[in-house]
Structure 1
Protein backbone atom coordinates (compact mmCIF):
# COMPACT_ATOMS: atom_id res chain seq x y z
CA UNK A 1 0.00 0.00 0.00
CA UNK A 2 1.18 3.51 -0.86
CA UNK A 3 0.13 6.66 0.99
CA UNK A 4 -0.11 9.82 -1.09
CA UNK A 5 0.28 12.96 1.01
CA UNK A 6 -0.67 16.22 -0.69
CA UNK A 7 -0.26 19.54 1.10
CA UNK A 8 -2.93 21.89 -0.23
CA UNK A 9 -2.76 25.63 0.39
CA UNK A 10 -6.07 27.22 -0.59
CA UNK A 11 -6.42 30.87 -1.55
CA UNK A 12 -7.60 33.02 1.36
CA UNK A 13 -11.37 33.27 1.67
CA UNK A 14 -12.02 30.28 -0.60
CA UNK A 15 -11.87 27.54 2.02
CA UNK A 16 -15.61 26.87 2.13
CA UNK A 17 -15.92 26.78 -1.67
CA UNK A 18 -12.92 24.44 -1.81
CA UNK A 19 -14.46 22.06 0.71
CA UNK A 20 -17.71 21.96 -1.28
CA UNK A 21 -15.82 21.34 -4.52
CA UNK A 22 -13.79 18.61 -2.82
CA UNK A 23 -17.01 16.85 -1.84
CA UNK A 24 -17.97 16.87 -5.53
CA UNK A 25 -14.53 15.59 -6.56
CA UNK A 26 -14.30 12.79 -3.96
CA UNK A 27 -16.32 10.24 -5.97
CA UNK A 28 -13.94 10.75 -8.89
CA UNK A 29 -10.86 9.58 -7.02
CA UNK A 30 -12.83 6.89 -5.18
CA UNK A 31 -13.81 5.32 -8.51
CA UNK A 32 -10.23 4.77 -9.69
CA UNK A 33 -8.48 1.41 -9.99
CA UNK A 34 -6.18 0.84 -7.01
CA UNK A 35 -7.89 3.43 -4.82
CA UNK A 36 -8.28 2.23 -1.22
CA UNK A 37 -9.35 5.28 0.85
CA UNK A 38 -8.88 9.00 1.31
CA UNK A 39 -9.36 11.78 3.80
CA UNK A 40 -9.04 15.54 3.72
CA UNK A 41 -7.89 17.26 6.91
CA UNK A 42 -7.74 20.98 7.68
CA UNK A 43 -4.88 22.52 9.66
CA UNK A 44 -5.86 24.04 13.01
CA UNK A 45 -3.05 26.63 12.97
CA UNK A 46 -3.49 27.71 9.33
CA UNK A 47 -7.11 27.50 8.12
CA UNK A 48 -6.00 27.77 4.49
CA UNK A 49 -3.86 24.59 4.66
CA UNK A 50 -5.17 21.08 4.15
CA UNK A 51 -3.62 17.67 3.75
CA UNK A 52 -5.10 15.09 1.45
CA UNK A 53 -4.21 11.53 2.40
CA UNK A 54 -4.94 8.86 -0.22
CA UNK A 55 -4.18 5.18 0.11
CA UNK A 56 -3.40 3.47 -3.19
CA UNK A 57 -2.63 -0.17 -3.89
CA UNK A 58 0.45 0.82 -5.94
CA UNK A 59 2.34 3.99 -6.81
CA UNK A 60 1.38 3.52 -10.46
CA UNK A 61 -2.32 3.48 -9.58
CA UNK A 62 -1.86 7.13 -8.64
CA UNK A 63 0.89 8.38 -10.95
CA UNK A 64 -0.31 6.64 -14.11
CA UNK A 65 -3.81 5.25 -13.55
CA UNK A 66 -5.27 8.38 -11.99
CA UNK A 67 -3.03 11.18 -13.22
CA UNK A 68 -3.22 10.06 -16.85
CA UNK A 69 -6.98 9.38 -16.84
CA UNK A 70 -9.83 11.45 -18.28
CA UNK A 71 -11.28 11.54 -14.75
CA UNK A 72 -8.21 13.47 -13.58
CA UNK A 73 -9.13 16.28 -15.98
CA UNK A 74 -12.45 16.70 -14.17
CA UNK A 75 -10.63 16.54 -10.81
CA UNK A 76 -8.34 19.35 -11.99
CA UNK A 77 -11.26 21.41 -13.27
CA UNK A 78 -13.02 21.19 -9.90
CA UNK A 79 -10.02 21.79 -7.61
CA UNK A 80 -6.82 23.16 -9.10
CA UNK A 81 -7.91 26.80 -9.32
CA UNK A 82 -8.14 26.94 -5.49
CA UNK A 83 -4.42 26.32 -4.87
CA UNK A 84 -1.69 28.88 -4.26
CA UNK A 85 0.99 27.65 -4.49
CA UNK A 86 0.47 24.39 -6.37
CA UNK A 87 0.35 21.39 -3.98
CA UNK A 88 3.33 19.39 -2.87
CA UNK A 89 2.66 15.67 -3.37
CA UNK A 90 4.77 12.89 -1.89
CA UNK A 91 4.33 9.13 -1.62
CA UNK A 92 5.10 6.97 1.41
CA UNK A 93 5.39 3.26 2.03
CA UNK A 94 4.95 1.50 5.37
CA UNK A 95 8.01 0.45 7.32
CA UNK A 96 6.55 -0.30 10.77
CA UNK A 97 3.16 -1.80 11.46
CA UNK A 98 1.34 -1.44 14.76
Structure 2
Protein backbone atom coordinates (compact mmCIF):
# COMPACT_ATOMS: atom_id res chain seq x y z
CA UNK A 1 0.00 0.00 0.00
CA UNK A 2 1.23 3.52 -0.77
CA UNK A 3 0.27 6.94 0.51
CA UNK A 4 -0.28 9.84 -1.88
CA UNK A 5 0.29 13.17 -0.12
CA UNK A 6 -0.62 16.51 -1.67
CA UNK A 7 -0.32 19.97 -0.13
CA UNK A 8 -3.04 22.11 -1.71
CA UNK A 9 -3.36 25.89 -1.73
CA UNK A 10 -6.88 27.00 -2.60
CA UNK A 11 -7.44 30.46 -4.07
CA UNK A 12 -8.42 33.06 -1.50
CA UNK A 13 -12.13 33.21 -0.77
CA UNK A 14 -12.90 29.91 -2.49
CA UNK A 15 -12.43 27.60 0.51
CA UNK A 16 -16.09 26.83 1.18
CA UNK A 17 -16.83 26.26 -2.51
CA UNK A 18 -13.75 24.02 -2.72
CA UNK A 19 -14.81 21.89 0.24
CA UNK A 20 -18.25 21.39 -1.30
CA UNK A 21 -16.72 20.47 -4.66
CA UNK A 22 -14.31 18.10 -2.94
CA UNK A 23 -17.19 16.29 -1.24
CA UNK A 24 -18.75 15.76 -4.68
CA UNK A 25 -15.45 14.66 -6.22
CA UNK A 26 -14.82 12.16 -3.41
CA UNK A 27 -17.17 9.69 -5.07
CA UNK A 28 -15.00 9.81 -8.21
CA UNK A 29 -11.77 8.80 -6.54
CA UNK A 30 -13.36 6.30 -4.17
CA UNK A 31 -14.78 4.36 -7.12
CA UNK A 32 -11.36 3.64 -8.63
CA UNK A 33 -9.60 0.27 -8.68
CA UNK A 34 -6.92 0.12 -6.00
CA UNK A 35 -8.38 2.97 -3.96
CA UNK A 36 -8.26 2.33 -0.20
CA UNK A 37 -9.18 5.61 1.54
CA UNK A 38 -8.70 9.36 1.51
CA UNK A 39 -8.73 12.28 3.93
CA UNK A 40 -8.74 16.03 3.40
CA UNK A 41 -7.34 18.18 6.21
CA UNK A 42 -7.67 21.99 6.54
CA UNK A 43 -4.58 23.78 7.88
CA UNK A 44 -5.17 25.62 11.13
CA UNK A 45 -2.41 28.19 10.60
CA UNK A 46 -2.64 29.06 6.91
CA UNK A 47 -5.93 30.09 5.30
CA UNK A 48 -6.72 28.09 2.17
CA UNK A 49 -4.09 25.42 2.78
CA UNK A 50 -5.17 21.75 2.76
CA UNK A 51 -3.48 18.38 2.99
CA UNK A 52 -4.91 15.53 0.91
CA UNK A 53 -3.90 11.99 1.88
CA UNK A 54 -4.96 9.09 -0.34
CA UNK A 55 -4.13 5.43 0.22
CA UNK A 56 -3.77 3.22 -2.85
CA UNK A 57 -3.04 -0.47 -3.17
CA UNK A 58 -0.15 0.31 -5.55
CA UNK A 59 1.59 3.28 -7.13
CA UNK A 60 0.26 2.22 -10.54
CA UNK A 61 -3.32 2.28 -9.26
CA UNK A 62 -2.86 6.02 -8.84
CA UNK A 63 -0.41 7.01 -11.57
CA UNK A 64 -1.89 4.85 -14.33
CA UNK A 65 -5.28 3.53 -13.24
CA UNK A 66 -6.61 6.84 -11.94
CA UNK A 67 -4.48 9.47 -13.67
CA UNK A 68 -5.05 7.99 -17.14
CA UNK A 69 -8.78 7.40 -16.68
CA UNK A 70 -11.86 9.32 -17.87
CA UNK A 71 -12.76 9.68 -14.18
CA UNK A 72 -9.58 11.70 -13.63
CA UNK A 73 -10.70 14.14 -16.32
CA UNK A 74 -13.87 14.72 -14.31
CA UNK A 75 -11.82 15.09 -11.08
CA UNK A 76 -9.70 17.74 -12.83
CA UNK A 77 -12.78 19.56 -14.12
CA UNK A 78 -14.34 19.73 -10.66
CA UNK A 79 -11.24 20.59 -8.59
CA UNK A 80 -8.17 21.84 -10.44
CA UNK A 81 -9.38 25.40 -11.02
CA UNK A 82 -9.29 26.01 -7.24
CA UNK A 83 -5.50 25.58 -6.89
CA UNK A 84 -2.87 28.31 -7.00
CA UNK A 85 -0.14 27.25 -7.34
CA UNK A 86 -0.80 23.85 -8.82
CA UNK A 87 0.19 21.22 -6.24
CA UNK A 88 2.99 18.69 -6.30
CA UNK A 89 1.92 15.10 -5.70
CA UNK A 90 4.25 12.82 -3.76
CA UNK A 91 4.01 9.11 -2.95
CA UNK A 92 5.21 7.42 0.23
CA UNK A 93 5.85 3.82 1.19
CA UNK A 94 5.37 2.89 4.85
CA UNK A 95 8.61 2.26 6.68
CA UNK A 96 7.25 1.03 9.98
CA UNK A 97 4.05 0.85 11.96
CA UNK A 98 4.39 2.00 15.57
**Counterparts of 2:20 and 2:97, CA distance in 1:** 34
Residue by residue over 1:21-60, the C-alpha shift from the partner in whole angstroms, topping out at 9 and shown as x without a partner, is 0000000000000000000000000121001000000000
Structure 2: where are the runs of 5+ without partners?
none
SS of the residue 2:28 aligns to: helix
Is 2:48 the partner of 1:51? no
Q: How many residues align?
A: 98
- Other structure's SS at 1:7 match: strand
TM-score norm. by structure 1 comes to: 0.99
In 2, Cα distance between equivalents of 1:94 and 1:75: 26
Q: Which runs of 5+ in 1 are unaligned?
A: none
Alignment of 1:3-22 (within 5 A): 3-22=3-22
Please list the CA deviations of residues 57-95 of structure 1 after superposition, one character each: whole Å capped at 9, or x if unmatched: 000000000000000000000000000000111000001
Q: Secondary structure at the match of 1:47?
A: coil
Distance 2:37 2:2 in 1: 11
Could you tell me how far 1:97 is from its partner in structure 2? Answer: 1.1
